[in-house]
C-alpha cells in the first residue's frame, strides 16, 4: 500500500511533528510511504515533498518557527499564500507518488486540500485530530465551515484521545461520530529497558 502523509509543521519540536515522523517511520517498514511537510530535513528512507512556505503560521506557536504568526491572527492574503504553497506541493505528490490513501495530520487546513484531491482524483483520506487545532477552530469563525466540509469527505477521523473527541463534538456536533475511531497516544518502546 502507498500512503501519503500531509503534515503542516516541522517534524521536530512539536507533538504532532514527532507523532507524524514516528508513525511514518513505523508504517514505512511494511508499506511505501511519502510525506508532504514544510521541513527540508525530511525522514531518512521516506520520500519527502518539502513545502516552501511564504510565511510560517501555527495554531499556538512552534519552537522551530519562533517568529511564526497564528492562524487566528492572519488575514486572507497570508492564508491564501500558504494554502497555495501547500496545494501545489500536495498536488505534485499525488501525481508523482500516486497514493492509495492520504493521511492528513490536523483537522485543518490541509484537510481542505485533501477534500479537493478526493473529489478530483478519487483518493480517500483519513485525518488525525491532534487537539492543538481546536482552540483555533473555536476562536476563529472563518475555519469551522471549510473544515466541516472537508471532514464530511474523510473516510475516518482519528482523534488522539477521548478528550479531543469531546472537544471536536463541542465544535462540530456529533455529525462525524460514525467516522471517528480514537487512537490514544502511544509510547516508543525502544526508550524503555527490555525487561521492565
- Residue 44 falls inside a structural domain: yes
pLDDT at 186: 65
Query: For residue 183, what is the domain's CATH number?
Result: 3.40.50.2000
- Residue 174 falls inside a structural domain: yes
* Enclosing domain of residue 75: 2-191
Question: Residue 182 burial (CB < 10 Å; 0-12/13-18/19+)?
Answer: middle
Give the residue carrying C-alpha cell 504568526.
Answer: 69
- Residue 33 falls inside a structural domain: yes
- Residue 30 falls inside a structural domain: yes
- Residue 196 falls inside a structural domain: no
Q: What total number of domains does the chain contain?
A: 1
What is the SS3 assignment for 156? strand
Q: What share of the chain is helix, strand, coil (3-state, %, to 5)?
A: 40, 20, 40
- Residue 104 falls inside a structural domain: yes
Question: Could you give the angle at the alpha carbon of 70 between the alpha carbons of 177 and 23, nearest 5°?
Answer: 50
pLDDT at 189: 67
Mind listing the pLDDT tens digit of every residue in the chain (196 residues)? 999 999 999 999 888 888 999 999 999 999 999 999 999 998 999 999 999 999 999 999 999 999 999 999 999 999 999 999 999 999 999 999 999 999 999 999 999 999 999 999 999 999 999 999 999 999 999 999 999 999 999 999 999 999 999 999 999 999 999 999 998 766 666 777 877 5
Amino acid at each position: 500500500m502507498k500512503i501519503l502523509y500531509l503534515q503542516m509543521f516541522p517534524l521536530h519540536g512539536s507533538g504532532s511533528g514527532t507523532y507524524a515522523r514516528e508513525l511514518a517511520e513505523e508504517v514505512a517498514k511494511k508499506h511505501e510511504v511519502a510525506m508532504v511537510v514544510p521541513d527540508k530535513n525530511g525522514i531518512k528512507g521516506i520520500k519527502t515533498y518539502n513545502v516552501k512556505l511564504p510565511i510560517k503560521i501555527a495554531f499556538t506557536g512552534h519552537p522551530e518557527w519562533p517568529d511564526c504568526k497564528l492562524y487566528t491572527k492572519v488575514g486572507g492574503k497570508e492564508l491564501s499564500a500558504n494554502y497555495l504553497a501547500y496545494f501545489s506541493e500536495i498536488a505534485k505528490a499525488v501525481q508523482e507518488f500516486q497514493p492509495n490513501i492520504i493521511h492528513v495530520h490536523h483537522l485543518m487546513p490541509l484537510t481542505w486540500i485533501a477534500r479537493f484531491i478526493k473529489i478530483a482524483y478519487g483518493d480517500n483520506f483519513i485525518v488525525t485530530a491532534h487537539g492543538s487545532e481546536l482552540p483555533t477552530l473555536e476562536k476563529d469563525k472563518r475555519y469551522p465551515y471549510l473544515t466541516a466540509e472537508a471532514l464530511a469527505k474523510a473516510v475516518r477521523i482519528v482523534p488522539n484521545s477521548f478528550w479531543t473527541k469531546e472537544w471536536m463534538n463541542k465544535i462540530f456536533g456529533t455529525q462525524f461520530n460514525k467516522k471517528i475511531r480514537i487512537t490514544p497516544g502511544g509510547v516508543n518502546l525502544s526508550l524503555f529497558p527490555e525487561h521492565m
